[in-house]
Amino acid sequence: MISLLREFTRRSGRSVTVLVMDDSDVEPPTPHAVRPRAMAWAVGLAVLVASIMISLVLLLSPLGAFLPGYAGEEVFRMARQNDLRMQALTDSLERQQEYVSRIRNMILGKVDSSSWTADSPAMSSVLEAGETISEPLQSADWQVHEQPAVTLGRLTSAQSNWPGAGSVAIGSMMAGPVFPALPPVEGFPTRGFDARTGHYALDIAVAEGTPVRSVGDGYVVLVDWMHDGGQVIAVQHSGGFLSVYKHNSVALKRVGDRVTSGETIARSGNSGEITTGPHVHFELWHNGLAQNPKDYLTGY
């Protein structure tokens, strides 16, 4: 076969005669006049036409989806949807980061009292990061957290018996965790709530490594190391409640974890620069206002 092609190539410009005969037959051979160049053009044209026909069939039929690198209308539609989803996810992450940043500022006491009004939402009154707190803590806006610290817009005649200082919160009056709740740890209270000095918490002395429990169902929104509070973990509950646990030796949950009431979320410790020994610094916030934890816990 190769020798025949060589002969055609060598005589491409001339007409040649091809004899067709059967080795098993005694019939005389049949001569055919062939021009190699014309035959090559005919074969090439046939291959080109066949290629065009196959390409049109693939492009105009569902079979085109199997071609490497070919993207149909469905692929473009999915790509547009994925692009929109990525943009929405980016916006959601930015809002979440801003929300966590505001919670961190709120935990650190960076609150602007001038922005508090009866109709202001809790998170709108939180300052941006960048401020520092000197020790001993002296809160300039302690009046807004003075007990009972209740957002004025939530007070109605049906809520006239909202718990005040020294009273016990009633769980049926709020949509958040069930109060009174079990304390995060069983220990000895060493320091109470004092809005004037910026101590918006109840300190409970316990042995290092004691399990620290969440006071209600919710989601972990902050796990971080802070200069004064050491290892800090915060849980967002429904109804606008946020619980904060400081000075832990280790956090057992990550941001975004779902936790249930009484679930262990950390181990107590003595972390942070501002501490007097192993204890749990427990804060409870409602709509951005600090609450006296003793009013919401059993046994205190």
Give pLDDT tens digits for 233-290.
Answer: 999 999 889 999 999 999 999 999 999 999 999 999 999 888 888 999 999 999 889 9
- pTM here is 0.50
Query: pLDDT tens-digit profile of 94-143?
Result: 766 776 776 766 665 554 444 433 343 333 333 333 333 334 444 556 66
145 CB-contact burial (10 Å; exposed 0-12 / middle 13-18 / buried 19+) = buried
Q: How far apart are CA 194 and CA 134, in angstroms?
A: 16
Residue 54 pLDDT:
83
Mean of pLDDT over the chain: 75
For domain 113-156+168-296, the CATH architecture is: Distorted Sandwich (2.70)
**208 and 270 in contact (C-beta within 8 Å)?**
yes
pLDDT of 146-192, one tens digit each?
A: 766 654 344 333 333 334 433 344 333 434 688 899 999 999 999 99
Residue ranges of the chain that CATH labels 2.70.70.10:
113-156+168-296
pLDDT of residue 77: 77
Q: Is the pLDDT of residue 75 over 80?
A: no
